[in-house]
């Protein structure tokens, strides 16, 4: 009996009661940017290997952008990777499925001593990704949860306390949305990216403003937020350069970015937060 008690005592010290991992949501400063973080509890040597998460936002007409600033060590995307003939032809993205208010993220790590880029496991804490949130409400709740069909959170050694239902803690955070454009300059429809729809919305608003200001001529492409003639056309996100008006400079800035992203990626679309298009 004493031997059994001794073994139990050793096990209690070997597997700390506080072992576990937390997946949390954080607002970035006073912005509408959100980040998803993970952290393994102090004393737990079991490292995360993969994440399958359900991320949601509540509120009226709320929209989450596509994620960006993806953790570079969790670079395997089982939900969207394309393999043909045993060769990876498209790495895919972390987004396995997405709507305006919900997205499923699937991302894992793969490393080896002889790998030229990934020789060691990811750290026991870090930021998985960032995205922006827009809503008609002044504040919204952004929440994380495990996606069981895709594996929830997978650890390096799934046998170490992983069967404990309390091992993974998921979190929610109340995001207080900043006034003004909730996503990024140029995103006229507020869906988290800038594409042809935004370009034509901006173009149409400026052409209409020109007609209203002086129906008999062209060149009056200007919208001011409190203007009695054109103010009703005001959209914070159309003010691409943030100078307090919507004019041809904003139009050409959006146009230039879309032409450039088409040159780089072959599409007329870029996500808010893409570092190539501040």
| CA–CA gap between residue 173 and residue 238 (Å, rounded) | 29
Nearest CA to 96 out of 86, 108, 107 is that of: 107
Q: Which two tokens stand for residue 231?
A: 């103010």
Helix, strand, coil percent content, the chain, rounded in steps of 5? 20, 30, 50
User: Which part of the chain is CATH 2.60.40.680?
Assistant: 19-176
Class in CATH terms, 19-176: mainly beta
| CA–CA gap between residue 140 and residue 102 (Å, rounded) | 13
| CA–CA gap between residue 103 and residue 67 (Å, rounded) | 10
Q: Which two tokens stand for residue 67?
A: 């994620």
| CA–CA gap between residue 118 and residue 124 (Å, rounded) | 15
pTM of the model: 0.66
Query: So what's the pLDDT on residue 15?
Result: 43
- pLDDT digits (tens), the chain, 278 positions: 444 333 333 333 444 444 789 999 999 988 888 999 999 998 888 889 999 999 999 998 888 888 989 999 999 998 888 888 888 788 889 999 999 899 999 999 988 888 888 888 899 999 999 998 888 888 999 999 999 999 899 888 766 545 556 789 999 999 988 777 777 889 998 888 899 999 999 999 999 999 998 877 767 789 998 889 999 999 888 999 888 899 999 999 999 999 999 999 999 999 888 888 87
């Amino acid at each position: 009996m004493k031997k059994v008690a001794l073994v139990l005592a050793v096990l209690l010290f070997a597997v700390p009661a506080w072992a576990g991992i937390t997946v949390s949501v954080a607002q970035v400063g006073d912005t509408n940017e959100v980040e998803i973080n993970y952290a393994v509890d102090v004393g737990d040597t079991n490292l995360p290997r993969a994440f399958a998460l359900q991320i949601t936002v509540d509120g009226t007409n709320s929209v989450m952008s596509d994620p960006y600033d993806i953790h570079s060590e969790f670079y395997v995307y089982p939900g969207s990777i394309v393999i043909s003939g045993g060769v990876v032809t498209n790495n895919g993205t972390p987004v396995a499925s997405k709507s305006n208010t919900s997205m499923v993220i699937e991302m894992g790590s793969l490393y080896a001593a002889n790998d030229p880029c990934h020789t060691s496991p990811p750290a026991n804490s870090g930021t998985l990704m960032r995205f922006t949130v827009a809503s008609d409400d002044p504040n919204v709740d952004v929440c994380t949860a495990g996606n069981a069909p895709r594996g929830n959170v997978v650890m390096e050694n799934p046998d170490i306390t992983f069967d404990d239902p309390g091992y993974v803690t998921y979190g929610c955070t109340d995001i207080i949305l900043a006034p003004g454009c909730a996503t990024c300059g140029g995103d006229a429809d507020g869906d988290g990216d800038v594409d042809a729809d935004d370009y034509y919305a901006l173009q149409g608003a400026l052409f209409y403003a020109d007609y209203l200001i002086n129906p008999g001529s062209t060149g009056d492409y200007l919208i001011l937020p409190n203007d009695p003639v054109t103010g009703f056309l005001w959209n914070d996100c159309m003010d691409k350069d943030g100078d307090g008006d919507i004019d041809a400079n904003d139009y050409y800035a959006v146009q230039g970015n879309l032409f450039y992203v088409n040159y780089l990626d072959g599409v007329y679309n870029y996500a808010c937060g893409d570092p190539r298009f501040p």
